[in-house]
Amino acid sequence: MRIIVYTKTRCPWSAQVMEYLRRNNLPFEERNMTEHPEFQKEVEEKTGQSKSATLDIDGVMLPNVGVEEVAETLAKMRQVKNAT
């Protein structure tokens, strides 16, 4: 599973999402949109907005999410994977 977390500097939601991923031993790549405007452009092109935290989980975009939405999406993805 490949997880990219698009963040903004000092965004509490981004920090919470990354902490959740760390606690659950889920490796991820952080892309800070504040420090790298090209990442913000990437998010805008993929989702039509530029809020954080935005995640890309194996190509599934989750714009402007918190821990609950991330946990729900990961659980659904695991269920689908286990069903196949």
Please list the rounded mean pLDDT of every run of 10 residues in the chain (84 residues).
96 96 96 97 95 95 95 88 61
Supply the range of the domain harboring residue 53: 3-83
Round to whole Å and give the CA distance between 48 and 19. Answer: 26
How many structural domains are present in the chain?
1
pLDDT for the residue 78: 82
The alpha helices in 24-84, defined as continuous H runs, are 37-47, 67-83
pLDDT for the residue 81: 65
pLDDT for the residue 65: 95
CATH number at residue 60: 3.40.30.10
- For the whole model, what pTM was predicted? 0.91
pLDDT for the residue 79: 76
Tokens representing 70 are: 């991330």
